[in-house]
Amino acid sequence: MIEIILHALILTGMMIAAILVFNFKDLVSAAVAFGLFSFLLAIEFYLLQAPDVAIAEAAIGAGLTTAAFMIAIRGTTKKEGDEA
């Protein structure tokens, strides 16, 4: 029973993070929300007894991809629709 509640909480958090990524106008906030989504996905993989996939998702999805987004955002405007 506790497992089902834990899965439901993590999946709810993932849905909220996905909605935030879509709705944020600030690109840094969207990238952080994406990192949160990837981290929650890594936790879900771990709970589903796939630790190798969880480690890969945490390293590449939550870590490397979020860092790449932050580096790319530095060269752009901060908010969607701002003039360059």
Helices marked H in the chain — which ranges? 2-23, 27-47, 51-56, 66-74
Contact by Cβ (8 Å): 56, 38: no
Domain presence at residue 80? no
Number of domains comprising the chain? 1
Contact by Cβ (8 Å): 40, 17: yes
Contact by Cβ (8 Å): 68, 16: no
- Phi, psi (rounded to 5 degrees) for 24: -65, 135
| Residue 80 pLDDT | 64
Domain presence at residue 82? no
| Residue 75 pLDDT | 84
Domain presence at residue 68? yes
- The answer, yes or no, to whether residue 15 has pLDDT greater than 80, is yes
| Residue 52 pLDDT | 96
pLDDT tens string 37-80:
999 999 999 999 999 999 999 999 889 999 999 999 888 876 66
Q: Whole-model pTM?
A: 0.85
- The answer, yes or no, to whether residue 83 has pLDDT greater than 70, is no
Domain presence at residue 26? yes
Domain that holds residue 24: 2-74
Tokens of 59: 């390293």
